Structure 1
Amino acid sequence: MASEPATVRRILHIASWYPSEVHGTLGNFVERHVQAISTLNGGEVWFAAAVPAGEVVPANTVCDHGTYTERIFYFRARKPIVWQVSRALLRAAEEATPFDLIHLHVAYPAGRAARTLARRWNVPLVLTEHWTAYHAEQRNSVPSWRRWAMRATGHAASVICPVSEDLASSMRAFGITGTFNVVPNVVNTKLFHPSASPFQGSTFNALHISSLRDDQKNISGLLRASRKALDRCDALRISIIGDGDPQPHRAYAQSLGLDERVEIAGEIPLVEVAERMRAADALVLFSRYENFPCVIPEAWASGIPVLSTDVGGIREHLTPERGALVASEDENALTNALCTWAKEGAPSNASDLRNHAEAVFSMAAVARAYTEVYTEAVTRQTAAQ
């Protein structure tokens, strides 16, 4: 299994979302957190993956990543999922040596097992949260029993680490009290970096990367704004890429007369995402709601600015030196901003963007931040005993 220096803490990462054979990109930001944290701490990551009906249930997997071990447990999806997730994780714990700390990534559905193991082993529980369900516009759609479970997990945590201040505020409004310490998403700044030889061409290439979920990412609104912008700006080029289904968006683009003017593509490997970032002049997002998506610091690490809607925690980092904000649903504002950037260039400095990404979102920066969180969690646990 993974080698661990004797002086580091053994962390058990329990993930509610994580990439697996069921969904290859689900919770990939959780995986990146684990990778960063494990540069300074040892341990394992466990994920219980529900397999939908009609799909073959894969065998459980164990993978040694050098600094941590990854264990994925597969089961046939049946309701209530939370009980099956808990059963799989608690069964795994029967054969495990107790860890120094449990780090739960997203409160539901793995929170019940994380709370149980933290009590059983008498170790601190740290919660990292990414979920937009805490925000006012979404929390009423969460069943009352799930809200109770999410609050119970939040209250059991020694330290709560939302990925943005905006999410921390929403979690407090949701009814969760405790010690909050914001730690952002992490970016592999070795993979995402500026081009060694920037190309100054006559076109302005705007890139969109997302899940392609229209209810959140508002691809249809982006396409309508793109139609107006392309009519005004001959130099503008737009690419929309994501790990969702691109076909409905291609059909809508065709209805707008954009099928030959806007590239719309499905999932591509992360290495290719980084290449596309380096070839782009800007990242464009038109989301209705967010916390702080990973693609924003990935763009900055690549030396390009970001044009985004002013939602969630995006404004906490997206200052005028790093891009521009428009109101959610304001298609005219997005059109005007795209045209201005295409004609005049985006007001940003690639080196400054890169330096900010390195200082705040790099693996080293996030690893240091979580090591401090773990020290605080252990201190609080010791003082409470």
Structure 2
Amino acid sequence: MFPTQRKHILLMSSWFPNRLDAFVGNFVQRFAQLLTSEYQVSVIHTHGDPACSRIEKEIDESDGVFTVRIYHPVSKNKFVHWYWQRKALSTALDEVEEVDLLFAHVILNRGLQFIRAKHFYHCPLIVMEHASYYRKEIREKFTRIQRRIIKRTSLHINELLACSAFLQEDMKAIFPTTKSTVLPNFVDTELFYPSVTTSTGYKRFLHVSTLDESVKDPETLLNGVALAVKAGYPDLHLTVISDQPSEKWQEMAAQLGIAGNVTFGGPMSWNEIAEQMRQHDAFLLTSSYETFSIVLAEAWLTGLPTITTPVGIGKDLDPSLGIQIPIGAPQALADALQQLIDNTIQFDVSVIREKGLEYSEDKVIGQLKTIFERHLIDHD
């Protein structure tokens, strides 16, 4: 462990990078790194691995963060699986001592682990939500176990954080009386910055997502581009970056006759995505739902105007930042693309960047310190 007199913050999350998926929950890992400027920081995470026949421990100390990952066997027998989950968590808890505050992320499906850790360390529990399962059409389909996890966890939360006002509103149906605060995700202001060369027009468009058709709506994205190309804009080019397979969407682009207008790439590091943003003229987001949308904040920091649906931090988009389009409306996307290419709207890079700076590391760590300190004082 790192020798320090600073307060000790422990992070836990239902999503966290692991040997089975190196990208899931990477924003939680970044929160851990952010907090090291003010606190001693540890992370514990348990994960089922079908390749395991016993508990396997993975401990890492890097970037100022002490991280404990415990892998455990997976069983179809729910009682056996429960046994391995509890044993994995016990193993993890034994590796970290004297925690002052537990900062947990994403209640489903590890909320009960958060409760156990809170009792183990006798410390306050602050939970930050990022997940999209609070929207009405999803929450109405919660299983009995999911409802139980959420209800029990809510009884032990000292403060609930939502990554956007958009998400906070959806969460009220589940947490009508729980104290909640909006705390945004943050963006690396040194990594995402505008290009030194000024674009002479809007022809190069960028989209970054998982391409999950249930929320990212790549079908509207490609249909909108196809409509714009067919309307007389053959020089339009879209770059799609994703950390998930894109073969289905490459095939769709070919069927629409725009294979030459769309380039698929990824996965990419944040450094590579930042460079890609500087090489493009505008950013496109066609999601049907977002709790935050970190890529919008990154695009704004880079000075890119955005065409976006009214989701996450893109809801009620200021016209100085781009063009808002309805959800699932490829013709509206095509019209917006044509407006940009025709230069009928002018944007100020400095104004767009200023909006992105609302999500800077300094502002978010300042907000977190204020939240943490009031609970740490009560705890002391």
Question: Which residue identity lines up with residue 328 of structure 1 in the other structure?
Answer: I
Partner of 1:27: 25
Greater mean deviation of Cα atoms: 245-254 or 72-81 = 72-81
Unaligned runs of 5+ in 2: none
Give the match's secondary structure for 1:217: coil
- How many pairs are equivalent? 376
**CA displacement, residues 234-274 of structure 1 (integer Å, 9 cap, x when unaligned):** 34211111111111100111111111211122312221111
CA–CA distance in structure 1, aligned partners of residues 238 and 268 of structure 2: 17
Partner of 1:229: 228
Q: CA 1:83/1:151 → structure 2, altered by over 3 Å: closer, same or farther? A: farther
State the Cα distance separating 1:54 from its structure 2 match: 5.8
CA–CA distance in structure 1, aligned partners of residues 10 and 105 of structure 2: 11
CA contact (8 A) 1:166 1:313 kept: yes
State the Cα distance separating 1:147 from its structure 2 match: 1.7
CA contact (8 A) 2:308 2:323 kept: yes
Question: Which residue identity lines up with residue 372 of structure 1 in the other structure?
Answer: T
Partner of 1:374: 372
Partner of 2:98: 98
Q: Does 1:60 align with 2:57?
A: yes
State the Cα distance separating 1:86 from its structure 2 match: 4.3
Partner of 2:329: 330
**CA displacement, residues 71-97 of structure 1 (integer Å, 9 cap, x when unaligned):** 222223335567644432232213431
Give the match's secondary structure for 2:133: helix
CA contact (8 A) 1:86 1:110 kept: no
Partner of 1:43: 41
CA contact (8 A) 2:201 2:281 kept: no
**CA displacement, residues 295-342 of structure 1 (integer Å, 9 cap, x when unaligned):** 1111111111221111345316x3222222111111111110111012
CA–CA distance in structure 2, aligned partners of residues 89 and 334 of structure 1: 47
**CA displacement, residues 204-249 of structure 1 (integer Å, 9 cap, x when unaligned):** 2110000111121111111111101122323421111111111110
Question: Which residue identity lines up with residue 97 of structure 1 in the other structure?
Answer: E
CA RMSD after TM alignment: 2.3
Q: Percent identity?
A: 25
Question: Which residue identity lines up with residue 194 of structure 2 in the other structure?
Answer: P
Give the match's secondary structure for 1:208: strand
State the Cα distance separating 1:201 from its structure 2 match: 4.2
Partner of 1:363: 361
CA–CA distance in structure 2, aligned partners of residues 305 and 167 of structure 1: 23
State the Cα distance separating 1:124 from its structure 2 match: 0.4
CA contact (8 A) 1:151 1:176 kept: no
CA–CA distance in structure 1, aligned partners of residues 82 and 170 of structure 2: 23
- The 5-angstrom pairing of residues 31-180 of structure 1 reads 31-51=29-49, 53=50, 60-78=57-75, 80=78, 84-180=84-180
State the Cα distance separating 1:57 from its structure 2 match: 9.1
TM-score of the two chains, using structure 2 as the length reference = 0.92
Q: CA 1:202/1:302 → structure 2, altered by over 3 Å: closer, same or farther? A: closer
CA contact (8 A) 1:57 1:76 kept: yes
- The 5-angstrom pairing of residues 295-306 of structure 1 reads 295-306=295-306
Q: CA 1:56/1:299 → structure 2, altered by over 3 Å: closer, same or farther? A: farther
CA contact (8 A) 2:205 2:282 kept: yes
CA–CA distance in structure 1, aligned partners of residues 345 and 119 of structure 2: 52
- The 5-angstrom pairing of residues 165-314 of structure 1 reads 165-195=165-195, 197-201=196-200, 204-232=203-231, 233-314=233-314
Give the match's secondary structure for 1:333: helix
Question: Which residue identity lines up with residue 218 of structure 1 in the other structure?
Answer: D
CA–CA distance in structure 2, aligned partners of residues 345 and 198 of structure 1: 21
Q: CA 1:58/1:332 → structure 2, altered by over 3 Å: closer, same or farther? A: farther
CA contact (8 A) 1:46 1:70 kept: yes
CA contact (8 A) 1:235 1:342 kept: no
Question: Which residue identity lines up with residue 65 of structure 2 in the other structure?
Answer: Y
CA contact (8 A) 2:48 2:73 kept: yes
**CA displacement, residues 128-162 of structure 1 (integer Å, 9 cap, x when unaligned):** 00011111121123212212211221231111111
Question: Which residue identity lines up with residue 170 of structure 2 in the other structure?
Answer: S
Question: Which residue identity lines up with residue 330 of structure 2 in the other structure?
Answer: E
**CA displacement, residues 106-145 of structure 1 (integer Å, 9 cap, x when unaligned):** 1122221211221232210000000111111211232122
State the Cα distance separating 1:200 from its structure 2 match: 2.6
Q: CA 1:109/1:364 → structure 2, altered by over 3 Å: closer, same or farther? A: same
Q: Does 1:14 align with 2:7?
A: no
CA–CA distance in structure 1, aligned partners of residues 52 and 271 of structure 2: 28
State the Cα distance separating 1:292 from its structure 2 match: 1.0
Question: Which residue identity lines up with residue 231 of structure 1 in the other structure?
Answer: K
CA–CA distance in structure 2, aligned partners of residues 18 and 194 of structure 1: 30
